[in-house]
Chain A
């Protein structure tokens, strides 16, 4: 079944490949549709090859991914596909992240659009489990800098099992990033709503997403002292995530909001984070509640609105799936907060990518991104 929206977005319910084909054909017939954002909720039972066949046949440029959940007209969807038509042509590039950094850098240097126009944007969809995900983002920013907006997120499953999850016209890919260049500027607002509850600690040892020590002490030991003191209760190591989802870490940045890193497990008296952290970073333990997070959502919306023009009325959000896990049944409030006068569409991702040119490009966790175009 295809559901139409006021912005001509199409939602195709899960398990109906024919509907997906029909939806793409329908959009192809529209003169004002040049490209598509294709957001798929992970609980679809579509076979990869069927989806690929439809993508390959389409004359529209299609970019997107498979995410834990998607938001369709203000509603969370754990299955189904949202097709968001774009009036401008997306220029696509696929970067394999299976290779070493110099090769990835070469792929970026060889991208066809070297001279960026200032009013342009990049959609960046990346496999959330790709080991080279963060270095890739650094290389991307080192190349294009703040001359474009960035919007995207980590695709994949909450099962954290590697699988093909980023989409372009050639199909669905694993350990890959899809970059879609749009000659249209977006208004982007980023916020998280978390606050520090500790002094900064220096990351004295870390390996990728394993935070080993803080101020030369085991990271979990430091973390537990602060959290247990703040919560007034001890951490149940067997149910660590239940506690940790309220106490993420925040990386300090000069003249910028902290970058949230989400601990999800304990390893060798250290912490396993959703995304990597580098040695030498200064981190604080953060805490928030539904209200503060909703404030963050409101702030993101406010920031996006502040930058948007009247013509930019397509409302879109990239929200972290861990915020859903934290808010649970009250997550609808966040949707309502950001929906404002319009129903919002978007994806609930594993890590968020956003930058409107103010700061260095980072992979965010537990953060909400609101975009308008």
Chain B
């Protein structure tokens, strides 16, 4: 029997011990231990019934939930819901369990060692029902608190958004009074706090006209229950806003006001406007530009063409749309070209090209098209876009220009031809005049005759200078005057120049001397020594010409030296009449001469200074003149030369010493169609002891060669029947004759000398020639060719007396002067040649042109490298004939001739080896 007082105290503690404000968890954590302790229980648990499922909310002791009995207890609780008893009591092992309903909340389980007094057990029922209600209320309370918290959070979220979103947001009641305004709206209204705005209408806040407009809108929204959405509006200050007004409704669906949003879209509008202006601008540019714009799709069908394109083609856009562009405008090669370009566009290629097309009326037009691929929004090629420029006029101009250029070229050629002919036609009689005058001088003349003869000779010399100068001017103006650098000794060139003019100086009684010659000047220089000599002779002869007394001095000093180059400063100093400053300015102009009282001096073309200056500049040099009237003149010119090493082979011509009767018993064949020229030459050679025989053309010359066996031939080039070239080639190739041949030509134009040597001649003298020069040339060749005979006589070569048929300079240059290498190459050639010749012979016997061509081809590089131009030329001819022609007698004779030349060269090379091998 439980003490009743104790029981009541317990009940009151159970009821009042739990505060109504406590949460569900607080009640649970307090109630369960209290019941266990106060009711002297050994275990207790509260299970919540929720959605037909039981959830254990609290259990003591905690390990009970892990004990095997726990499952049994849970099953019991499940069954409790279907009983009508105030509580359930059952015993498991030594423990009494009681299950009480906690109102609709769930169940309380109590475990005791001793059974409850039954009265107590029943009286506990309302106590636990009360606990259950308390728990339910706590849950409701908590739900309400949670809901209010959530509501507060949402309210805070909404307020944060409203306050911070960069829009103006407000709400108005039915009277148009603001009930809400975010900070942007407040600031826009010109206030700082919300309370300054709330409760006020638009008339309180804004100018009248704005308020009226806004109020009208509000009225429409509220009365018609319709939203105004995204209306763009420009404000008084020029800014733009995007305005929305949406009606608000109360729970009954009645309009209770409105909410308004306003976004500043000024920037967007400005950007749109800028874009619109830009687009307009570009559209205008495209539409009005003088360039045709054409867009085609990937099937080349026209999508768009601007006005200019329409104008260019004559078609309207509608006429062109959907048509294939290339077919519309192009045909033939142009069509192929455009279609190829379209293929390129598909590969992403862009370029510009010119093409000939037809417009609507069939007129031919030239367009410059700059094309590029078009891409769609996925970045894939989808046709192309082209800018078209009508270049028909330019093309026409270009054509005219080409025509003009061609005409100019023809004109230049005509001029050159004219000059060449003129030169030739003048030189030919000049040769006779000068030659005859020279011969006349050798006769007994009285003083008056001598004087007249001197005048003739001087006039002839001057005329020759004029002709040469005119030729040089022609070459300079045509840009055909080329510089031919060779290795030379400057000191020698100066010396020769002085020697050349020494006689003239002596005649005038003035001193011509070499002044300072800088010891720093390299012994060997590389440059065009011939042109340098021409410049020096010109300046020196001018100086002599205008100096009556005193001296003419030539000085050479090093102006600047780099690793490979020396700049030489030349000074030609005279003590002559000097020049006026005004004339100095034009001294280098063509056809310029200062007037002088001394008519004797006033001779010449006035081209010398001009030509010299042009030559100096052509050699990258400079020239200047300092002169003082009646004091003298100094011409200074600077030229760059490459510093060179001593050449391994002698490049300078061998100068033969002319002795009286040097040509004694020599038979010289003079070939010239001009009788006077034949006579001049004949007189010269006869005076030197030679016997002269004549021929009037090449054909005669060949006959004379065969019959008369001359020692040397003086060969004019332009002759009827057979000219000098043809005759020489015939002698060399057909007759296989190596007789020395000197060309005598009045052609002084560039390339003539090369042509002569190429044809197989040994030297070249231009008309009019000096006696001395002719004899020198003859002696030079005769001295190195004392014995000769025609190969047709089947006599052996005497290599000791034949001119060298090889030139090792190429090999030396290739090997950088490695003589061992050169010797090795020679040895290889000499060893291999008999085998090659044997093969060629077999080819001839078998009439096999392929073998002959192949062997000629094989030998050609060796002949080139060993400096055998005549043989190389023959080999080229053999190869060409053998390849393209049938087996002919000409081929056979040419081939045999070439083999003999090769054998001759081989013997000479073996001789060279025996002398030069270490």
Contact = CB atoms under 8 A, between A and B. Distances in A.
The answer to whether A and B come from one shared complex is yes
Given A143-B63, A255-B114, A357-B113, A200 B38 contact: no
Interface stretch (B40-48, B216-224, B359-367, B415-423): B40-48
B6 A360 contact: no
A212 B13 CA distance: 19
B63 A254 contact: no
Nearest to A278: B37
Interface string A256-272: 10000000000000000
Given A254-B40, A255-B40, A147 B61 contact: yes
Contacts of B6: 200, 252, 254, 282
Q: What is the size category of the interface that chain B forms with chain A? A: 20 to 34
B606 interface: no
Contact of B5 (A138, A200, A358, A360): A200
Contacts of A144: 61-63
A114 B39 contact: no
A254 B38 contact: yes
B28 to A, nearest CB: 13
Given A280-B9, A358-B113, A146 B42 contact: yes
Contacts of B2: 254-255
B17 interface: yes
A146 B17 contact: no
A146 B66 contact: no
B27 interface: no
Contact of A360 (B42, B63, B64): B42
B33 interface: yes
Contact of B37 (A146, A252, A360): A360
A138 B61 contact: no
A202 interface: yes
Contact of A145 (B5, B39, B63): B63
Contact of B113 (A138, A146, A200, A202): A146
Contacts of A115: 63, 66
Given A114-B63, A145-B43, A360 B36 contact: yes
A359 interface: yes
A115 B63 CA distance: 6
A141 interface: yes
Contact of A254 (B10, B43, B61): B10
Contacts of B658: none
A109 B37 CA distance: 20
Nearest to A109: B62
A359 B43 contact: no
A359 B38 CA distance: 11
B33 A145 contact: no
Contact of A282 (B9, B33, B63): B9
Interface in B1-34: 2-3, 5-7, 9-10, 13, 17, 33
A147 B66 CA distance: 11
Given A114-B63, A282-B9, A142 B40 contact: no
A253 interface: yes
B61 A142 contact: yes
Interface string A231-264: 0000000000000000000001111100000000
B61 A145 contact: yes
A144 B7 CA distance: 27
Contact of B40 (A200, A202, A253): A253
A254 B39 CA distance: 6
B36 A142 contact: yes
Contacts of B63: 114-116, 143-145, 147
A142 B113 contact: no
Contacts of B61: 141-147
B60 interface: yes
Contacts of A202: 9
Contacts of A254: 2, 6-7, 10, 38-40, 120
Interface string B702-746: 000000000000000000000000000000000000000000000
B554 to A, nearest CB: 120
Select the residue from B3, B13, B42, B66 with max chain A CB neighbours within 10 A: B42
Nearest to A256: B40
B43 A146 contact: yes
B448 interface: no
Contacts of A360: 36-37, 40-42
Nearest to B67: A147
Contacts of A252: 3, 6
A185 to B, nearest CB: 14
A359 B113 contact: yes
Select the residue from A138, A147, A357 with max chain B CB neighbours within 10 A: A147
Contacts of A116: 63, 67
Interface string A175-203: 00000000000000000000000001010
Contacts of A138: 33, 37
Nearest to B13: A280
Select the residue from A109, A254, A280, A282 with max chain B CB neighbours within 10 A: A254
Given A252-B3, A280-B17, A282-B5, A357 B42 contact: yes
A357 B113 CA distance: 8
Contacts of B120: 254
Contacts of A147: 61, 63-64, 67
A144 B67 CA distance: 11
Nearest to A115: B66
Contacts of B67: 116, 147
Interface string A92-132: 00000000000000000100001110000000000000000
Contacts of A145: 42-43, 60-61, 63-64
Interface in B36-78: 36-43, 60-64, 66-67
A115 B113 CA distance: 21
Select the residue from A145, A200, A252 with max chain B CB neighbours within 10 A: A145
Contacts of B17: 280
Nearest to B38: A254
A2 B116 CA distance: 52
A256 B42 CA distance: 12
A88 to B, nearest CB: 20
Interface in A324-368: 357-360
Contacts of B112: 255
A282 B9 CA distance: 8
Contacts of A256: 40
Given A138-B33, A254-B38, A255-B114, A143 B5 contact: no
B86 to A, nearest CB: 19
A180 B669 CA distance: 149
A306 to B, nearest CB: 14
Contacts of B9: 202, 280, 282
Top 10 closest pairs, chain A to chain B, by CB: A145-B61, A146-B42, A358-B113, A255-B114, A280-B13, A143-B62, A142-B60, A254-B40, A282-B6, A115-B66
Given A143-B62, A144-B62, A144-B63, 7 more contacts: A109-B62, A145-B64, A254-B120, A282-B3, A357-B113, A358-B114, A360-B40
30 contacts: A114-B66, A115-B63, A116-B63, A142-B60, A142-B62, A143-B62, A144-B61, A145-B43, A145-B61, A145-B64, A146-B42, A146-B43, A146-B113, A147-B61, A147-B64, A147-B67, A200-B6, A202-B9, A254-B2, A254-B10, A254-B38, A254-B40, A254-B120, A255-B112, A280-B9, A280-B13, A280-B17, A282-B9, A360-B37, A360-B40
